[in-house]
Amino acid sequence: MKLKDAIKQAKRVETTISTGGFYFNAKLTKRDALKCLKNYLENEDSTGIGVWYNEKDEIIAQAFGSENETLSIGI
């Protein structure tokens, strides 16, 4: 699955924000998610389980849930 398709399919897109040692989950709109990940939207899902990597082999997004209904960005 392509990352763009995962964003469209997700019921919820979220990211984690760190401020002063505290972490907060934040919900993103699908439009914002597309903006955040614009450099990676054509990357193929090489694992087949909903994990996408950047050029440094760091995870940039991961789908969760029984039907990949939640996409977490910037894990």
Entry pTM: 0.78
What is the model's pLDDT at position 15?
93
CA atoms of 49 and 20, how far apart (whole Å): 33
What is the model's pLDDT at position 31?
94
pLDDT digits 0-9 by tens, 29-72: 999 999 988 888 877 666 667 899 888 988 999 998 888 889 99
Name the region of 6 (left: φ>0; alpha: ψ -120 to 50; beta: rest): alpha
| CB burial of residue 61 (10 Å; 0-12, 13-18, 19+) | buried
What's the one-letter identity of residue 74?
A: G
What is the model's pLDDT at position 65?
84
Q: Tokens 């939207």 — which residue?
A: 41
